[in-house]
Amino acid sequence: MSAIRIFRPKQHWSVSPRTVLPAGLVLRLFKPQSNYTVVLDDHTAGKIGNEQVRVIEVEPGEHRLYMRFIGLRRSKELRMSLNEGEERQFLCGTSAFGWPTLREASPEDIAQIPGTSISEPPTPADPISPD
C-alpha cells in the first residue's frame, strides 16, 4: 500500500488593501470555515477541517486528487504516480477569494506536519477527521 497525507493548517487572515474585496471579505467575516471534501480519483475520500490531517491509503499507481467546497468551488486537480510503500504529503488551504487550494508539501512544510511518515502514524492527540 501507498499513502497520501493531506494537512490543512489553520488560516490566519489579514485584512489589507490587496485582500479586501467585497465578496471575499463578506465570506471571511460571516461564513465560518467549513470542511473541505477530499476527492480522490473522482470518489469522495472524506472531509478535512482546519488543523486536521487526513491519511488515505491507496494502491500504487496513477491517482488524481482535489479539494471541493460548496458545490462548484474546487482546487486545481493534482495528478500523481505512487510506487509501492511511497507516501506523498499535500497542503490544502483557502485562497483570498475563498476557493480551496492544494499543493504538494515542501520539505519545510513537512517538518511542521505532525506524523509525516507512514511508519509514524498520527498519535491520538493529533486532530484527525473521523469522516
Q: To the nearest whole percent, how much of the chain has pLDDT over 70?
A: 68
Q: Containing domain of residue 105, as a range? A: 2-110
Q: What is the pLDDT of residue 122?
A: 46
Q: How far is CA 59 from its chain centroid?
A: 20
Q: HSE on the CB side for 131, CA within 13 Å? A: 10
The burial of 15, by beta-carbon neighbours within 10 Å (0-12 exposed, 13-18 middle, 19 or more buried), is given as exposed
Q: What is the pLDDT of residue 72?
A: 79
Q: What is the pLDDT of residue 58?
A: 95
- Quick count: other Cβ atoms within 10 Å of Cβ 92? 22
Handedness of CA 63, 126, 99, 69 (dihedral sign): positive
Whole-angstrom Cα distance, residue 35 to residue 95?
Answer: 15
- The pLDDT tens digits for 45-104 are 999 988 888 999 999 999 999 999 877 789 999 999 999 999 999 999 888 777 889 999
How many distinct structural domains can be found in the chain?
Answer: 1
Instruction: Output the domain CATH number for residue 47.
Output: 2.60.40
Does residue 62 form part of some domain?
Answer: yes
Output the pTM of the full model.
0.71
Does residue 98 form part of some domain?
Answer: yes
> Which has the higher per-residue pLDDT, 122 or 38?
38
Q: What is the pLDDT of residue 114?
A: 63
Query: Please, where are the H alpha helices in 1-131?
Result: 22-30, 107-112
Whole-angstrom Cα distance, residue 28 to residue 110?
Answer: 27
| pLDDT at residue 118 is higher than 50 | no
Does residue 82 form part of some domain?
Answer: yes
**Cell 511511497 -> residue:** 86
Whole-angstrom Cα distance, residue 61 to residue 80?
Answer: 8
